[in-house]
């Protein structure tokens, strides 16, 4: 009887430890950035123990917090998509499995299949969501109210917004530049091409109006400008390699890049 009582006390203590650490991590890091693995590590238990007592991450969250706070937890489809975005951004498409996404999102693989069909369809949904931002830029730039120089600057401000609001999406785009997938080719490629068309048209118009140098090669200049803007994404790694300790903000970098571009292409 004493052995059974001791085992019961140990099990109760394990459950309480899980609840304590999960409550702390959810409070400090938020729902999205807390995984079952994080909780198991801090509580000193296995992930299977958490699943045994509470089920999924979502079920654990709802157990810990009052009913009126349930709306703070995302719906299952959203949490799958957000978890997948983080993993695809950090590892690339080929090195992420459905099982990885399920663990990160705190759901089983069947839930992913139910909402998205499979890994390819989930990735397509993410690319669709991210590349829709490119359409926003094209529509703003091509509304007929902006001058060539304003359109070139608008691109840098658009990218600045992308970095601030959707850093993981930007990183996925960067992966696609290095390791292109068939999924991206069917969704994002055309939209990126639209951006180039808009920039090239603005540059060509500026050349015709005498704002920009007449001997420029529009396509090359636009690709260079796109590269200068996107290069900020690599800034942290470059600073490490060159031992740069100076703080460089996104706004400062974009201002300098635009100034360099304009001084290079404006008619003297």
Structure token pair of residue 19: 């609840």
CATH code for 74-117?
1.10.10.60
For residue 133, the model assigns a pLDDT of 78
CATH fold label, 1-64: Arc Repressor Mutant, subunit A (1.10.10)
pLDDT recorded at residue 266: 92
The CATH 1.10.10.60 domain(s) of the chain lie at 1-64, 74-117
Q: pLDDT value at position 237?
A: 63
pLDDT of residue 124: 92
Digitized pLDDT (tens) for each residue of the chain, 268 residues in all: 443 344 444 455 788 899 999 888 877 777 767 888 889 889 998 888 888 888 888 788 888 876 544 444 457 888 899 999 999 999 999 999 999 999 999 888 888 988 898 999 999 999 888 888 788 888 888 888 899 999 999 888 887 777 777 888 888 887 887 788 998 887 777 888 888 999 999 999 999 999 999 999 999 999 898 888 877 766 666 666 777 788 877 778 888 888 999 999 998 7
The answer to whether 103 and 36 have CB atoms below 8 angstroms apart is yes
Alpha carbon distances (Å) from 24 to 32, 59, 125: 14, 16, 33
CA dist., res. 268 & res. 266, Å (int) = 6
> Half-sphere exposure of residue 35, counting CA atoms within 13 Å on the CB side?
16
Query: Where does CATH 1.10.357.10 sit in the chain?
Result: 126-264
- Quote the CA–CA distance of 213 and 39 in Å, as a whole number: 60
Q: What is the CATH number of domain 126-264?
A: 1.10.357.10
What are the pLDDT digits (tens) for 63-90?
887 654 444 445 788 889 999 999 999 9
pLDDT for 219 equals: 92
Between helix 109-116 and helix 76-91 the angle, nearest 10°, is: 100
């Amino acid at each position: 009887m004493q052995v059974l009582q001791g085992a019961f006390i140990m099990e109760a203590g394990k459950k309480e430890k899980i609840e304590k650490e999960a409550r702390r991590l959810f409070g400090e890091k938020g729902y999205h950035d807390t995984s079952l693995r994080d909780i198991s590590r801090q509580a000193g238990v296995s992930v299977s123990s958490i699943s045994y007592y509470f089920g999924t991450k979502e079920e654990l969250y709802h157990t810990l917090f009052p009913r009126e706070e349930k709306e703070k937890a995302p719906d299952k489809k959203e949490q799958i998509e957000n978890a997948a975005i983080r993993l695809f951004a950090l590892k690339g498409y080929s090195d992420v499995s459905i099982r990885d996404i399920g663990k990160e999102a705190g759901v089983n693989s069947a839930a992913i299949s139910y909402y998205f069909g499979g890994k390819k369809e989930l990735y397509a949904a993410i690319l669709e969501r991210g590349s829709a931002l490119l359409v926003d830029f094209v529509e703003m730039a091509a509304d007929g109210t902006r001058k060539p120089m304003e359109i070139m600057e608008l691109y840098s401000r658009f990218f600045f917004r992308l970095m601030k609001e959707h850093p993981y999406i930007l990183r996925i785009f960067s992966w696609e530049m290095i390791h292109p997938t068939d999924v991206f080719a069917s969704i994002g490629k055309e939209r990126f091409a639209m951006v180039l068309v808009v920039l090239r048209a603005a540059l060509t118009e500026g050349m015709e109006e005498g704002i920009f140098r007449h001997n420029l090669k529009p396509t090359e200049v636009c690709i260079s400008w796109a590269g200068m803007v996107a290069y900020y994404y690599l800034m942290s790694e470059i600073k490490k390699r060159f031992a740069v300790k100076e703080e460089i903000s996104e706004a400062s970098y974009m201002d300098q890049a635009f100034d360099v571009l304009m001084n290079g292409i404006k008619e003297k």
